[in-house]
Amino acid sequence: MNTLKDITRPVFPFTAIVGQEEMKLALILNVIDPKIGGVMIMGDRGTGKSTTIRAIADLLPQIEVVEDDLFNSHTSDYEVMSDYVKKKVEDGDQISTEFINVPMIDLPLGATEDRVCGTIDIEKALNEGIKTFEPGLLAKANRGILYVDEVNLLDDHLVDILLDSAASGWNTVEREGISVRHPARFVLVGSGNPEEGELRPQLLDRFGMHAEIRTVKEPSLRVKIVEQRSKFDSNPYACIKEFQLKQEELKSKILSAQQRLAQVNIDYELRVKISEVCGALDVDGLRGDIVTNRAARAFAAYQQEDNVTIHHIRQVIILCLRHRLRKDPLETIDSGVKVEQVVSQVFQ
């Protein structure tokens, strides 16, 4: 008999989502290569941002983790392994593993720093000499996806912590001279509505990609989206079954892209062109160059190709650069269009 714990809430199939190609591509590429640095999704209310993000997590193949480990530790990769598991591996101890769904962690808007980073029980440490760590959301999100809705309303200090952990892959908690460090490698996905305020430029720049989504204007497409949603709401399991084959195809495509990624090559001439575009757009720092290179390689792997071409770069470069341009209040042209113009000149 199924207990309440076993009954999972049905998730809208990723392949059933109509339109919003930019957001879907950005999420897929970050899943193929988490080092791209996450996605910031800005767009109107009610455009399916949350639905799409939950759907991508549901689509991913299960991961193997060390059993009863608080940090979803990997069994052989030191980068995503807690110190306790590392010690067991080095001592040659037997490690039992289990397969779990890719963690999808929602960060609530009112979350405190302790809730995000975790806490150290000082009393226990001082009285009993035991270092007791109560893991936070960053620990739970290791090797998964951390989703922050309305990221532009989140306290800047917390956004800083999230971005630091996402970039370094580690979270360190220090209290009264006691320090605990654990792996926290996750895909950071933030979403927001531009009407509710922008993110500070230096925080925006830390997101690998920036997808913009607009409400669909075409009546026939709108009808299709509404029908799809109604169909799912009235009978979710039938809808999931209908898209099962497409889901499996996409799942295996992502898996083979993850495996192929290491051997994808990007020519020196193309790397120079990418940097030329960044220079012409006056992009501060080198993050834009690095992310565009990574995203182009991930896209080539997704297309099952071993060499990056101009086509791959053109598909991803706007997503990687549009949020890194300096804001000019008198500028009337959209930043995406500006990137497109420079790309056209450089890649003639």
Report the distance separating Cα 129 and Cα 198, nearest Å.
Answer: 46
**Three-state secondary-structure class, residue 226:** helix
Report the distance separating Cα 271 and Cα 301, nearest Å.
Answer: 17
Q: Which of 47, 43, 50, 38 is nearest to 11 (CA)?
A: 50
Kindly compute the dihedral angle of the four CA atoms of residues 199, 201, 205, 209, in this order, to the nearest 10 degrees: 50
- Is 143 labeled as catalytic in the residue annotation? no
> Can you point out the beta strands (E) in 28-169?
39-43, 63-66, 97-100, 104-106, 118-120, 133-135, 145-149
**Three-state secondary-structure class, residue 23:** helix
Strand pairing category for 133-135 and 63-66: unpaired
CA angle 9, 13, 15 (to 5 degrees): 170
> Of the residues 143, 185, 287, 322, which is catalytic?
287
Report the distance separating Cα 203 and Cα 159, nearest Å.
Answer: 8
Report the catalytic residues. 287
